[in-house]
A and B are shown apart, each in its own frame.
Chain A
Amino acid sequence: MAHSLLLVDDEPRIRRVLRLALEDEGYEVAEAANGYDALAVLRREPPDVVLLDLMLPDRDGFTVCREIRRTSDVPVIMVTARADSHDVVAGLEAGADDYVTKPLVAKELSARIRALLRRVEPANSRQSELLEVGDLRIDVAGAEVTRDGTVLPLTRTEFKLLAELAGAEGKVLSREQLLSKVWGYGYFGDSRIVDVHIRRLRLKVERDPASPKHLVTARGLGYRLVS
């Protein structure tokens, strides 16, 4: 079954060429020229992945991203002009799962999309599909985390990150390892993606996100999950 994409960009030529190239890569592509249309399409026919340009005419991409996050855990890849700008961190804080920079090519984009859509695979087969870390119950097969019987509203990427850390059984995972396992990057993925996702995850799974008990930073090394 072909995955569906929602392409949000105000530049018609970009939309046209990306649609052609992505369709050639085997995706079903819907288009939206602005944030308003994008949210409408999202409600009408939810896509598997949203590709969101941050420079939109009616409202900026960050607002659209937050709007999407209010109702959906669909993976969002934002398109930014520059990797170094504060836009990247702001976009990730707004709920984006990953980012790509212009000029982007459909083939690279396709690799990012596949990484986001990949299902969580348990770190080793002996492990049960149900992990318990402190008061958190992580159902790997059902992609659900519960605390005191309540389901925590994690996005798919946040869940994958938590599951990878849980699978490491308390060992430290470096940012490079997490980037590779969760986002499918090589060594040179942007470690800010990990940092921002950890921050977002703490807001959801920690009782006191300011002094995290589960998601612990190992300075200069990476992160680990402790019960």
Chain B
Amino acid sequence: MRGRFSLRGRVMVAYGLLALGLSSVLALVTWKVVSDYLTEQRQSSAIVETSDNAAAFHYGVFGAPKPCNPAREGAECNSPTPRADVDVQALLNSLPSTDAASSMVYYSNRWYASTGRPSDLPPDLIATVLDGHTAHRSVTVGGQHVLAVGVPLRRPGEAFFEWHPLESLDNTLRTLKITLVVAAIVTALIGLAVGRLASTLALRPLAELTRVADAVARGQLDARLPAEKDRDLGGLARSFNQTAADLERRVAADARFAGDVSHELRTPLMTMLNSMQLIQNHRAELPAPVREPVELLGDDLDRFRRLVIDLLEISRDDGGDQGSREIVRIADLVRAAADATAGREVTTVAPEAEGLTLQADKRRLERVIANLVENAEDHAGGCKGVGVEAGGLGVIITVDDAGPGIAAEDRDRIFERFGRGETSGRGRGVGLGLAIVARHVQWHAGTIQVTDRPGGGARFVVELPAK
């Protein structure tokens, strides 16, 4: 349950079930009370009518009832004498029929009926009534739902029966049933809607939290939750904001540290670089034994310079450099950066990509291309070509190398700071170059990935959104 439905879904279903339960109970109670009442009404009116008809029959057979004093004339009272000339069947037919479908009488040990068959009457009803009790049963006669009512006559062993159709009662009850079921369903739906509304209202702060947490995760470290007055949510908002502020401080401190270190390194580096340049300008005048050490020193000094510049670049990004965006013809930029870095023509531009422009920070994109080409040249057997084509997010830039390729498990790690493939056997000094590439591509809302180059080697694929 927890896994399958969202919190909102669960709240909605809970509200819906609650509403359905309540409305069902209410509907059942209503049904019980109303149907019982209506049935009882119908039964009592049927009994009254049957009793009236029985009295009328009795009158017709025995004449006006004589005053009856049980103490003196009890036997006469209980067994009156019928009139001699009575036609029972005609009498039965002449009874007023309000809504009774049929009247039957068991008289002088034989059945008379206006319509209907006495054999349709339930035997136990006949037995009960002949025993001297008024009774009724609900039965089905010829496909019709009727109420059979029996009233004993004065003489024992004689009784008057009628059945009353229950069609209109049944119709009323059916209508009531449909109404109640529909009402229950509507109430349940309203419950769902209320649940949805309530959960949306209750979850709004949570949605806000999700949005802000997402922003922080994407690197927008200054995102904060608005101050929350609600007691339940205030604590969450406060501790979230506290955590985000701590994170921001730490990231800023890290960036400052890297920035400060490389900043401090720049002055001695400048002294060393210029001194080395002077020495190399006068290389010919150096004694033979020191020429090679000077060369070694020069190479490492150059590597050192690149590392400091990379550190500055990284700390600049961490320091929240806004950069500047301008409209750039991407083919020109890639050609200029790649060819200059490789020292030869390596760029191939697809004809449809020639005029493509994008909003870009030229300096950052130059670093992306230069670092990728440099990486191919220095660590992967040389750059085998740089391609620019339209497609993907807008423009696709590929940089191919002739190295051993990059193992699938290393393909994410190489973009981390000082990350290098464990198993690919790439040389030293990958350092920060690819990390800078990944950051700058991300800054442009682009993507970068490594694949295999057809024919061996690795292919770095950069996609940038065109404009």
Which residue on chain B has the smallest CB distance to residue A13? Answer: B271
Complex Cα spacing A67 to B158, Å:
137
Complex Cα gap A103–B154 (Å)? 131
Query: Please, how many angstroms separate the alpha-carbon atoms of A21 and B337 in the complex?
Result: 29
Whether A20 contacts B363 in the complex (CB less than 8 A), given A103-B305, A103-B308, A191-B326, comes out as no
Shortest Cβ distance from A79 into B: residue: B270
Q: Does A43 sit within 8 A of B, measured CB to CB?
A: no
Quick check: is A187 within 8 A (CB to CB) of the other chain?
Answer: yes
| Chain B residues closer than 8 Å to A84, beta-carbon distance | 316, 321, 323, 363
Tell whether, in the assembled complex, residue A13 and residue B363 are in contact, meaning their CB atoms are under 8 Å apart.
Answer: no
| Residue contact B277 to A103, C-beta cutoff 8 Å | no
Contacts of B119 in A (CB 8 A): none
Structural contact, B357 and A82, CB atoms closer than 8 A: no
Q: Across the interface, do B271 and A17 meet the contact criterion of CB distance under 8 Å?
A: yes
CA distance A67 to B77 in the complex (A): 144
> In the complex the two chains form, what is the Cα distance from A13 to B269 in whole Å?
11
Chain B residues within an 8 Å CB radius of A220 = 327, 357
Residue pair A102, B266 in contact (C-beta under 8 Å): yes
Chain B, range 133-167, C-beta contacts under 8 Å to A: none
Instruction: Give the complex CA separation of A187 and B330 in angstroms.
Output: 12
A187 touches B333 (CB 8 A): yes
Assess A188 versus B363: contact at CB under 8 Å? Given A102-B266, A103-B305. Answer: yes
Q: Mark A177-215, 1 if CB is under 8 A from B, else 0.
A: 000000000111011100000000000000000000000
Complex-state Cα separation, A17 to B269, whole angstroms: 11
Q: How many residues of A contact B (CB 8 A)?
A: 26
Q: Give the interface SS of chain B, mostly helix, strand, loop or mixed.
A: helix
Please determine whether A17 and B275 come into contact, CB atoms closer than 8 angstroms. yes
> CB of B69 within 8 A of chain A?
no
B residues less than 8 Å from A81 (CB atoms): 263, 266
Determine if A83 is an interface residue (Cβ-Cβ < 8 Å): yes
- Asked if A11 and B278 make an inter-chain contact with CB atoms under 8 angstroms apart, the answer reads no
Q: B370 to nearest A CB, angstroms? A: 9
B-binding segment of A104-112, A141-149, A156-164: A104-112
Which residue of A has the minimal Cβ distance to B333?
A187
Given A81-B266, A188-B362, A190-B363, A24 and B337 contact (CB-CB distance below 8 Å): no
Q: Is A14 an interface residue (CB 8 A)?
A: yes
Measured CB to CB, the closest approach of chain A to B426, in angstroms, equals 27
Say yes or no for A18: interface residue by CB 8 A criterion: yes
> In the complex, what residues of A have CB within 8 A of residue B275's CB?
17, 20-21
B312 and A82 form a contact (CB under 8 A): yes
Q: Which residues in A have their C-beta under 8 angstroms from that of B321? A: 84
B324 contacts A24, CB within 8 Å? no
Closest CB in chain A relative to B332 CB, distance in Å: 7
Residues 278-298 of chain B, each 1 if its beta carbon lies under 8 Å from chain A, else 0? 100100000000000000000
Whether B366 contacts A188 by the Cβ 8 Å rule is: yes
Is B340 in contact with chain A by the CB < 8 A criterion?
Answer: yes
B364 to chain A, nearest CB (A): 10
Complex-state Cα separation, A67 to B4, whole angstroms: 73
Q: How far is the CA of A42 from the CA of B305 in the complex (A)?
A: 33
Say how far A194's CB is from chain B's closest CB, in angstroms. Answer: 11
For residue B266, which residues in chain A have a CB less than 8 angstroms away from its CB? 81, 102-103
Q: Which residues of B contact A188 (CB under 8 A)?
A: 336-337, 362-363, 366
| Distance in Å: Cβ of A84 to nearest Cβ of chain B | 5
Contact between B316 and A104 (Cβ–Cβ < 8 Å)? Answer: no
Interface positions of A from 21 to 75, Cβ below 8 Å from B? 21, 24
Tell whether A103 pairs with B273 under 8 Å between CB atoms, given A186-B340, A187-B336, A220-B327.
yes
Contacts of A187 in B (CB 8 A): 332-333, 336-337, 340
B267 interface residue, CB < 8 Å from A? yes
Instruction: Assess whether A107 is in contact with B270, with CB atoms less than 8 Å apart.
Output: no
Q: How far is the CA of A83 from the CA of B321 in the complex (A)?
A: 11
Q: Which residues on the B side are within 8 Å of A107 (C-beta)? A: 277
Q: Does B274 contact A (CB under 8 A)?
A: yes
Give complex CA distance A211, B377 in Å: 49
How far is B327's CA from A84's CA once the two chains are assembled, in angstroms?
A: 18
Closest Cβ neighbor of B332 among chain A residues: A187
CA distance A103 to B316 in the complex (A): 15
Q: In the complex, which residues of chain A have a beta carbon less than 8 angstroms from the beta carbon of B316? A: 82, 84
> Which of A20, A102, A186 touches B278 (beta carbons < 8 Å)?
A20
Residue in contact with A191 in the complex, picked from B267, B270, B308, B362, CB distance below 8 Å: B362
Once bound together, how far apart are the Cα atoms of A83 and B324, in whole Å? 11
Closest to B269 in A: A103
Greatest chain A CB density within 10 A among B274, B278, B316, B326 is at B274
Contact of A24 among B278, B357, B363 (CB under 8 A): B278
- Residues of A within 8 Å of B269, CB to CB, are 103
Most interface-central of A14, A17, A18 (chain B CB within 10 A): A17
A20-B274 contact, Cβ under 8 Å, with A81-B263, A103-B266: yes
Taking beta carbons and an 8 Å cutoff, which residues of A are in contact with B? 11, 13-14, 17-18, 20-21, 24, 81-84, 102-107, 176, 186-188, 190-192, 220
Q: Which 7 A-B pairs have the closest CB atoms?
A: A187-B336, A220-B327, A21-B274, A103-B270, A17-B274, A103-B269, A17-B271
User: Could you jot down 25 A-B contacts, CB within 8 Å?
Assistant: A14-B271, A17-B271, A20-B274, A20-B278, A21-B277, A24-B281, A82-B316, A84-B321, A84-B323, A102-B266, A103-B269, A103-B270, A103-B273, A103-B309, A104-B270, A105-B270, A106-B274, A176-B332, A186-B340, A187-B337, A188-B336, A188-B363, A191-B362, A220-B327, A220-B357
Q: A105-B273, A188-B363 are in contact. List 14 more A-B contacts (CB 8 A).
A: A13-B267, A17-B274, A20-B278, A21-B274, A82-B316, A84-B363, A102-B266, A103-B270, A103-B305, A103-B309, A106-B277, A186-B336, A187-B336, A191-B326
Interface of B with A (CB < 8 Å)?
A: 263, 266-267, 269-271, 273-275, 277-278, 281, 305, 308-309, 312, 316, 321, 323-324, 326-327, 332-333, 336-337, 340, 357, 362-363, 366
